[in-house]
Chain A
Amino acid sequence: MILQQPSTHLEGNQAIAEFADLPPKPPRSKLEPHRELIRELRRKGRTYREVARLFHERLGLYVAPSTLHSFVKVRAKHRKRTQFELPPLELAVAESPALERIAALKTKPPVRNAKPTRFVFRENEPLTLTSNGGEQ
Chain B
Amino acid sequence: MTAYSKRVVFTMGGKGGVGKTGVMVSLAEWFASNKIPVTLLDLDTENKARGSLKHFFNGTVTKVNIHTPAGLDAFVDHLDGGTPIILADMGAGAGQVAADWFESMHEDVAAIGVRFTAVGVVTPDPASVESVLAWASRLQDRVEYVIVENATSALADFTYWRSTEQANRFREAFTPEILQMEFRIAELENPVRQHGIQLGQVADRKTDVGELKRASLVMRAQSYRRRLFSEFDRARQAFLP
Name A residues whose Cβ lies closer than 8 Å to a Cβ of B. Answer: 115, 117-121, 123, 125-130, 132-136
Given A121-B134, A121-B137, A130:B170 Cβ within 8 A: no
Docked pose: A110 CA to B164 CA in angstroms: 39
Verify if B58 is at the interface (C-beta below 8 Å from A): no
Interface residue B68 (Cβ < 8 Å from any Cβ of A) = no
Instruction: Report, as a range, how many residues of chain B touch the other chain.
Output: 20 to 34
B137 in contact with A130 (CB, 8 Å): no
CB distance from B138 to the nearest CB of A (A): 9
User: Which residues of B are interface residues toward A (Cβ below 8 A)?
Assistant: 126, 129-130, 133-134, 136-137, 140-141, 159-160, 162-170, 173-174
**Known: A119-B173, A134-B159. Is A128-B164 also a contact (CB below 8 A)?**
yes
Asked if A132 contacts B174 (CB within 8 A), the reply is no
Given A118-B140, A119-B136, A134 contacting B163 (CB threshold 8 A): yes
- Minimum C-beta distance from A10 to chain B (A): 63
CB distance from B10 to the nearest CB of A (A): 18
Considering the chains assembled together, what is the distance between the CA atoms of A132 and B159 in angstroms? 11
Contacting residue for B165 out of A115, A117, A128, CB 8 A: A128
Q: In the docked arrangement, what's the CA distance between A117 and B136, Å?
A: 11
A136 to B178, CA, bound (A): 14
